[in-house]
Chains A and B, each alone.
Chain A
Amino acid sequence: MSEVLNGVQKAEAEAAKIIEKAQSKAEEIKRDAERKIRETEPNVRSQLTEEITALQQGIEKKAQTQAKTILAKADNEAAAIEEQAKKHIKKTVDFIVSAIYSFGGAAK
């Protein structure tokens, strides 16, 4: 009978160790989770910052490219305007001179 009791006590001691180990493991899981939770917001912020920085760089690059096109087009337009004006400057000068003379039109 004492042999049986002895065996049960040993089993119970072993069972207690198994439970204790599991509780220790559970504590470890809990600590890991708490650490992850603490790191969550900084990690999300860091990830979002990377995404937004990439987005911003993309937007700026696209805008810079479009800006260059707009300015190049404007320079072409300015050159076209200059060319056009050169062809008509004589006529314009005559107009201005005649406009000056018009101030000395016949006295009323």
Chain B
Amino acid sequence: MSAFSPADQIEKAIIDEAKAQAKKIVEDAEVAARQLTEEALENAQSNLAGWAARRKQMAQGTGDRILGKARNDAHMRVMNAKAAMINEAFQQARKQFEKERESAQYKTFLKNLITNAGIQIGGGDIVVLVRKEDQPIILKITGLGTAISKQAGQTTKVSVGKQAIDAIGGVMVQNKEGNITVDYRVETLLTQVDVKYRNAIAKILFPIEVKTEKPRE
């Protein structure tokens, strides 16, 4: 036999049912809340995925740019070191050439330059311009006109211009009219040597190849 009266049992049933309903209301609310917050998180992650990917790509790009610049700078440092040494060789060659201006080889050199220039001009009346110091040398050279006439096929008369050239050596040769000039000044020849023999000079100066960090394409 129950300890509760029928009235008590009815009251208890009402309360128990209310408690069960209350429990369900709270549980349903919790489930719904959980689902909504999970969905919100998934949506947010999905919405921001592209943005995050772009930011990561930018970060990677920054690293690539730093490395790219370093490779370029490294390449330039090595190239500049080579260029500086080649320039140094040219400077020393210039000084060495200046020391040789009293030699017989230099006199022959001037004679041959004038002859070659005269032939290029095509002979005729030609004027030779040289340094003031070289003018007596030129005046002593004989047979220039004959040599040029023979090759150019035209009677040639060579005269030394009064105007001196500003150069470390060599000659400038003009026709009488002054509209054709062959520039054989040593400075000009040095430039031509640089252009023509740059690779050969580099091979002599740097016979052992030093591995360099080349910039990536």
Chain A residues within 8 Å of B, Cβ to Cβ: 3-4, 7-8, 10-12, 14-16, 18-19, 21-23, 25-27, 29-30, 32-34, 36-37, 40-41, 43-45, 48-49, 52, 55-56, 59-60, 62-64, 66-68, 70-71, 73-75, 77-82, 84-86, 88-89, 91-93, 95-97, 99-101, 103-108
Interface centre among B23, B60, B89, by most A CB within 10 Å?
B89
Check if B26 sits within 8 Å of A40, measured CB to CB. Answer: no
The answer to whether B126 has its CB under 8 Å from any CB of chain A is no
Give how many B residues have a beta carbon under 8 Å from the other chain's beta carbons.
95
Check if B193 sits within 8 Å of A99, measured CB to CB. Answer: yes
Assuming the A-B contacts A40-B41, A81-B81, A95-B204, are A45 and B48 also in contact, with contact meaning beta carbons closer than 8 angstroms in the complex? yes
Check if B97 sits within 8 Å of A85, measured CB to CB. Answer: no
Check if A108 sits within 8 Å of B119, measured CB to CB. Answer: yes
Chain B residues within 8 Å of A, Cβ to Cβ: 6-8, 10-12, 14-15, 17-19, 21-23, 25-26, 28-30, 32-34, 36-37, 40-41, 43-45, 47-48, 51-52, 55-56, 58-60, 62-64, 66-67, 69-71, 73-75, 77-78, 80-82, 84-85, 88-90, 92-93, 96-97, 100, 105, 108-113, 115-116, 119, 147, 151, 184, 186, 189-190, 192-193, 196-197, 200-201, 204-208, 210-213
Minimum CB–CB distance from B70 to chain A (whole Å) comes to 3
Check if A70 sits within 8 Å of B204, measured CB to CB. Answer: no
Cβ-neighbour of A82 out of B23, B85, B211 (below 8 A): B85
The A interface is mostly helix, strand or loop, or mixed, namely helix
